[in-house]
Amino acid sequence: MLPIRLAIDVTSGDNGPRVILNGILEARGLTADPFVVYLCGDGERIGSLLEELGVSESDRRGRLFIEQCSELVSPGEARSRVWRKRADSAIIHSVVLQKQGKVDASISAGDTGVLLSAAIFILGRHRGVKRPALAAFLPTTGKRHTLLLDVGANLNCRVEHLVGFGLMGYSYVKKFLEISQPKVALLNVGTESTKGTRTLFEAAKLLATRCKGYAGFIEGSGVLQGEADVVVCDGFAGNVLLKTSESFYPLARSLLGKKPELAEAIMNNLDVLNPENYGAVPFLGIRGIVLKAHGSSSQRAFANAILAAINSVKKKALDLALNPGWEGLKLR
Amino acid sequence: MLPIRLAIDVTSGDNGPRVILNGILEARGLTADPFVVYLCGDGERIGSLLEELGVSESDRRGRLFIEQCSELVSPGEARSRVWRKRADSAIIHSVVLQKQGKVDASISAGDTGVLLSAAIFILGRHRGVKRPALAAFLPTTGKRHTLLLDVGANLNCRVEHLVGFGLMGYSYVKKFLEISQPKVALLNVGTESTKGTRTLFEAAKLLATRCKGYAGFIEGSGVLQGEADVVVCDGFAGNVLLKTSESFYPLARSLLGKKPELAEAIMNNLDVLNPENYGAVPFLGIRGIVLKAHGSSSQRAFANAILAAINSVKKKALDLALNPGWEGLKLR
């Protein structure tokens, strides 16, 4: 098997390049799959950090490549144009490398909006996709994980966007988790058909006819119980749900901290809830594999992000165009 | 002290009148404050249930009164008109008793929309309030609880509604938790000022000038960490956040169930997360004390709902008009 080739934006994220590089080194020990990494960022800084971390020139050879990027994206810049204006920034360059066929997937902990517009304008969307979505797997007490989308790329959604998320989520989970017919649900404030907004009523009607796995509404309380395999919502509600559920692990740790003798034993049991285990989340609907890592990602989170990228490349689950019935899909 | 007088809708809720009556009896043992209850519902059924539960006529005297209600609200009825059309239903009658000055507060586990419109049309709103809000206290790892509003009464919110929620929440928490200047935050997908929707940007601008305690944006991950005393959002996001956080307790229990020897000790420590401890949530902005209990409320949840009602009556925290500066407030 040829090694999987990844581009990683080393400049973004709240914790600095050292944490990211350590995450990459940690990932080596976690997978048997060979992979090479293109490190996008300030070449000189990356070089000296690698030296500090004890990675010699010969260790690097054929496994770690430095891609010099000189520009930085500042928070105020218009997100839709930044992919062109800051082509020499690490976040944009990591996507460009994918377009050039140099890598199979890219990972960045940078701004969601910047990364999404780079993905849309550089790699393009799958046919029929109006709005690509950021999707996250959540741990559940059910048999398997649940895919939640959108989790922050599309804050205001119209009916057709929600329907598109449902179809993309269905297609992705079917391949990625190898389920024959994933259960798709729409997030709502109640499961009764009379509760919710007009947008949700219409999306429900369309999904019922267009999406094989559509199973109705789901409440916030049902998501982590694994009541559905795919949960569809706008990016605002999804972001709130994702981040709230991520806060449960530190919350439990803090509550148990008063009894340290219990804490360790328990936290091992609750480890499924640890957000560090879920390193990065994919954009669905993009012609390529672009993963978004949390801004606050730790070393372990980056290591897991790399595993997620490798898995995505191997399973081809993001190649939605390959899914029967998808190509012909036309949404208003 | 005169006993506090409560009206309770015994017909609503998923678990039937027996659970509600048991909750009322349980509450007797949990508070030293004397209280009397007006039981709204099918008088005959309530009478025979009380007998079954071993409550004699003399036990009831001066403490439990039956208010015969013959109608039921069906799910399909228009919520805005049902308060007039179904005046003889328990959910509506419990609010009417408050208007008549017979009780100090009312509790129902019925439909949020029906209860809200009954509260608005029968009791009226405080001056300056466009949209009353359903508010819930969430447990946090911080020093105290956090008030989240709206949690489901207003699914679509405009700028002025969010600003109103911030002002009402500030006023309520100041009195209820006796904090001199509660910290108010707007729920968003990031804390940076460039992230979010236009509605949020405008609400942030207005809150910054009108609400003393306004402290900026908060993410879903910060809420249960107690980063703010009041968290403002539309009812859709609030409902999702509330229900997701309520699912943590059963989630932890289910994860720990594999190790029963650990489970009990741990769950006692995590009990602050148990939604049963938070029996019912108030509508803010209403001229009266109307509490909404969860449809799925257990006996313990109803007992705690009664304690919440007693507390609300004693602290007069919902009497927002008494708050200096509130009366003069005019929102577009």
- pLDDT tens string, chain B, 332 residues long: the values are 789 999 999 999 899 999 999 999 999 999 999 999 999 999 999 999 999 999 998 889 989 999 999 988 887 777 778 888 888 999 999 999 999 999 999 999 999 889 999 999 999 999 889 899 999 988 888 888 899 999 999 999 999 999 999 999 999 999 888 899 999 999 999 998 888 999 999 999 999 999 999 999 999 999 999 999 999 999 999 999 999 988 887 777 777 766 666 666 666 766 766 767 777 889 999 999 999 998 888 999 999 999 999 998 998 877 774 344 444 445 44
Q: Do A247 and B273 lie within an 8 Å CB cutoff?
A: no
Q: Which residues of B touch A259 (CB under 8 A)?
A: 265, 269
User: If we measure between CA atoms, which residue out of B235, B290, B273 comes closest to residue B109?
Assistant: B290
Cα separation, A8 vs A39, in Å, equals: 5
**A194, A244, A256: residue with CB nearest B244:** A244
Query: How confident is the model at residue B267, as a pLDDT?
Result: 67
Query: How confident is the model at residue A323, as a pLDDT?
Result: 46
Assign B8 to helix, strand or coil: strand
User: How big, in percent rounded to 5, are the helix, strand and coil portions of chain B?
Assistant: 45, 15, 40
* Residue at token pair 């054929």: A62
Residues contacting A131, CB < 8 A, separation 6+: A150, A153, A154, A157, A161, A164, A165, A285
Q: Do A236 and B152 lie within an 8 Å CB cutoff?
A: no
Cα separation, A108 vs A112, in Å, equals: 9
Q: Does B256 touch chain A (CB under 8 A)?
A: yes
Residue numbers of A between 147 and 166 with CB closer than 8 Å to B: 152, 155-156
Q: Which residues of A touch B222 (CB under 8 A)?
A: 247
Record the tokens describing residue B322, joined without a space.
């008494």
Query: How confident is the model at residue B248, as a pLDDT?
Result: 83
Residue A322 identity (one-letter amino acid):
L
Q: How many residues does chain A have?
A: 332
Nearest CA in chain B to A294: B190
Nearest CA in chain A to B272: A255
Please list the rounded mean pLDDT of every run of 10 residues in chain A (332 residues). 94 93 95 96 96 91 94 78 87 97 96 92 92 91 90 94 95 90 96 92 95 95 94 97 87 72 67 73 94 91 93 82 45 44
pTM: 0.88
Query: How confident is the model at residue B208, as a pLDDT?
Result: 95
DSSP assignment of A80-148? TTHHHHTTTBHHHHHHHHHHTTS-SEEEE-S-HHHHHHHIIIII-BPTT-SS-EEEEEE--SSSS-EEE
Q: Is A103 exposed, middle or buried (0-12, 13-18, 19+ CB in 10 A)?
A: buried
- CA B202, chain centre distance (Å): 27
Q: Do B246 and A141 lie within an 8 Å CB cutoff?
A: no
Q: Does A12 touch chain B (CB under 8 A)?
A: no
Cα separation, B48 vs B228, in Å, equals: 47
Query: How confident is the model at residue B262, as a pLDDT?
Result: 65
Q: Does B270 touch chain A (CB under 8 A)?
A: yes
The nearest CA of chain A is from the CA of B257 a distance in Å of 10
Per-residue model confidence as pLDDT tens digits over B254-271: 777 666 666 666 667 667
Query: How confident is the model at residue A249, as a pLDDT?
Result: 78
Residues contacting B166, CB < 8 A, separation 6+: B184, B186, B203, B207, B211, B214, B230, B232
Q: Do A223 and B237 lie within an 8 Å CB cutoff?
A: no
Q: Do A269 and B262 lie within an 8 Å CB cutoff?
A: yes
Per-residue model confidence as pLDDT tens digits over A91-142: 999 999 999 999 999 999 999 889 999 999 999 999 889 899 999 988 888 8
Cα separation, A112 vs A99, in Å, equals: 19
How far CA B22 is from CA of B26, B29, B269, B298, in Å, comes to 6, 12, 26, 9
User: If we measure between CA atoms, which residue out of A147, A197, A150, A154 comes closest to residue A172?
Assistant: A147
